[in-house]
A and B are shown apart, each in its own frame.
Chain A
């Protein structure tokens, strides 16, 4: 089963597409951020998958272990996780401010509040 043997990559693709879909399809600003998080997480799994060596253990020095996974992608992705946390925090902070100023976190409501003449006219 060559196709299923690479199941990690299928998980990555599935998560990525689900996350991307949520970002595009949902009008709720918080749900969009959740989708964005999912999208970013899939990339973390992608990096960790590609660093895996067959029969290799986690890249931590230990007795009796000869074969390690490639540590570099792990380190890189730690940085990317931090970036993801920062992005989510900033996004949520913006949503709080949007809620204060508009009284809503739904994209449609915000659009109507910004374009009152359009809503009244139709």
Chain B
């Protein structure tokens, strides 16, 4: 059983999905989906313990050894992403019960959980696999199911948002497929470790460079790197509350993981950052993302749309860390990946609780609600503090490491820009606080009261995680550093 944990991580939700479809009763489907997501979290935790004590775990599917068979390979980098994806998946499930019943017609609820589990299976598959083509297949599983999840939003604009995401997501995935094809052409292998070893000899060819370009653009589309982020704001705004929390905290994170995996493991630091000027391109785009998306977020009238734009900016921070191409920078980027999932998850869940009570997430409608829904807005404020990056929250830790990494390179203007970007976050989170605590509630809104505990407990779990990982950084920073050291050690 223990030996099969890597495959169970993917297969458990994958098998549970059709089982959910057979259960026509909404409550039962929810129960099964919850059980499976929590089991996935347990598997991820067991894997994490094993990786930390024994080093990377390799699993040969069907007994076919790599590089001929498909290999699942788990090291410090994957484990970090596995923990965050399963963790968020598990925390969102209790929230989903009440929230989904409110937003989705009863007879379609079991189907909703089918799509949710498939999406989880796809994201976990991308993370554990060590095979480039397998990665593409899991990418499509997670993407197709996330289009379905987004289209379930009650506003009709959810449909057009899902359609646009489908078009852009498919173009991105097809670019990745082309890139993988180019690499296969030159090396005759799809296994990532094997690719990394064989690419060294043929690195200096136009084919490999073209493959690199296609992969970079394709993955950038999936991770919503500025200016390829156009699908993201509408998708997160109009999706059901539970879905925006789940996707915002996991989908783009897994894409960032893919990016790091290809750049550092497959191509190697020397090729990606030495031979090609990728660091300058990435840094420019990351800084553009931070400032343009934060600026746009300030002017949004809808809280969810504001948070969606803020996600684009936060992805900028992660890519900025990656673009430093140093151990410190990559550590900061991966730490922020982990921490941002916690803060954006908490914020989207809190906004979901507001939507549950209010039926609206417009900033004007929040007037004076801070006192009527103290727990919900308390979560929003702490999540916001984490987003801005003030101690003692997780957001502070990642900003701290990011600034330290910039200073280590002597790039103090970048460090200043990181801090200025945080000020913009202060402005847009400030708008929510201003509306909720300092405006008078409109007349006739007395009946509004606190969200039910079924929504508050998951939200506050993530808020507590934000505070915990702001004080005890052994897990997130420790794993990130270990992953960064391994990625640089392997290349040099």
A interface list, Cβ under 8 A from B: 20, 23, 29, 32, 36, 39-40, 43, 46-47, 50, 73, 76, 79-80, 83, 86-87, 90-91, 94-95, 97-98, 101-102, 110, 114
Q: Say whether B177 faces chain A, with CB atoms less than 8 Å apart.
A: yes
Q: Say whether B151 faces chain A, with CB atoms less than 8 Å apart.
A: yes
Asked if A94 and B174 make an inter-chain contact with CB atoms under 8 angstroms apart, the answer reads no
Asked if B170 and A87 make an inter-chain contact with CB atoms under 8 angstroms apart, the answer reads yes
A79-B166 CB under 8 A given contacts A39-B174, A90-B147: no
Asked if B170 and A36 make an inter-chain contact with CB atoms under 8 angstroms apart, the answer reads yes
Q: Give the docked Cα–Cα distance between A91 and B168 (Å).
A: 12
Asked if A43 and B181 make an inter-chain contact with CB atoms under 8 angstroms apart, the answer reads yes
Known: A87-B144, A91-B163, A98-B156. 12 other contacts (CB 8 A): A43-B174, A46-B178, A50-B185, A76-B133, A83-B173, A87-B166, A94-B151, A94-B166, A98-B159, A101-B156, A102-B156, A102-B160
Asked if B162 and A94 make an inter-chain contact with CB atoms under 8 angstroms apart, the answer reads yes
Asked if B184 and A83 make an inter-chain contact with CB atoms under 8 angstroms apart, the answer reads no
| Residues in A neighbouring B148, C-beta threshold 8 A | 90
A-B CB proximity, top 5 nearest: A101-B156, A83-B140, A94-B163, A98-B159, A50-B185
Q: Say whether B157 faces chain A, with CB atoms less than 8 Å apart.
A: yes
A69 to chain B, nearest CB (A): 13
Q: Say whether B137 faces chain A, with CB atoms less than 8 Å apart.
A: yes
A54 to chain B, nearest CB (A): 16
| Residues in B neighbouring A40, C-beta threshold 8 A | 170, 174
Q: Say whether B167 faces chain A, with CB atoms less than 8 Å apart.
A: yes
A103 to chain B, nearest CB (A): 11
Q: Give the docked Cα–Cα distance between A80 and B151 (Å).
A: 24
Q: Say whether B435 faces chain A, with CB atoms less than 8 Å apart.
A: no
Q: Give the docked Cα–Cα distance between A31 and B137 (Å).
A: 25
A73-B184 CB under 8 A given contacts A36-B170, A39-B174, A83-B140: yes
Range for the number of chain B residues in contact with chain A:
20 to 34
Chain B residue at smallest Cβ distance from A35: B167
Q: Give the docked Cα–Cα distance between A20 and B214 (Å).
A: 14
Asked if A43 and B178 make an inter-chain contact with CB atoms under 8 angstroms apart, the answer reads yes
Q: Say whether B21 faces chain A, with CB atoms less than 8 Å apart.
A: no
Asked if B177 and A80 make an inter-chain contact with CB atoms under 8 angstroms apart, the answer reads yes
Q: Give the docked Cα–Cα distance between A101 and B154 (Å).
A: 11
A79-B171 CB under 8 A given contacts A43-B181, A101-B156: no
Q: Give the docked Cα–Cα distance between A50 and B187 (Å).
A: 12
What are 18 contact pairs spanning A and B, CB under 8 A? A23-B171, A29-B163, A32-B167, A43-B177, A73-B181, A79-B133, A80-B177, A83-B173, A86-B140, A90-B144, A91-B163, A91-B166, A91-B167, A95-B163, A97-B151, A98-B159, A102-B156, A114-B157
Q: Chain B at the A interface: mostly helix, strand, loop or mixed?
A: helix
A11 to chain B, nearest CB (A): 15
Q: Give the docked Cα–Cα distance between A95 and B136 (Å).
A: 25
| Residues in B neighbouring A29, C-beta threshold 8 A | 163
| Residues in A neighbouring B136, C-beta threshold 8 A | 80
Chain B residue at smallest Cβ distance from A75: B133
Interface mask (B283-327 → A, CB under 8 Å = 1, otherwise 0): 000000000000000000000000000000000000000000000
| Residues in B neighbouring A39, C-beta threshold 8 A | 171, 174
Q: Give the docked Cα–Cα distance between A36 and B140 (Å).
A: 15
Contact of A23 among B140, B157, B162, B167 (CB under 8 A): B167
Chain B residue at smallest Cβ distance from A98: B159
Asked if A79 and B137 make an inter-chain contact with CB atoms under 8 angstroms apart, the answer reads yes
Most buried by A among B148, B163, B171: B163
Q: Give the docked Cα–Cα distance between A40 and B178 (Å).
A: 10
| Residues in B neighbouring A94, C-beta threshold 8 A | 147, 151, 159, 162-163, 166
Q: Give the docked Cα–Cα distance between A110 and B156 (Å).
A: 10
Asked if A98 and B160 make an inter-chain contact with CB atoms under 8 angstroms apart, the answer reads yes
A26 to chain B, nearest CB (A): 11
A93 to chain B, nearest CB (A): 9
| Residues in B neighbouring A73, C-beta threshold 8 A | 181, 184
| Residues in A neighbouring B167, C-beta threshold 8 A | 23, 32, 36, 91
A77 to chain B, nearest CB (A): 9
A22 to chain B, nearest CB (A): 11
| Residues in A neighbouring B174, C-beta threshold 8 A | 39-40, 43
B142 to chain A, nearest CB (A): 12
Q: Give the docked Cα–Cα distance between A50 and B178 (Å).
A: 12
Q: Give the docked Cα–Cα distance between A20 and B144 (Å).
A: 20
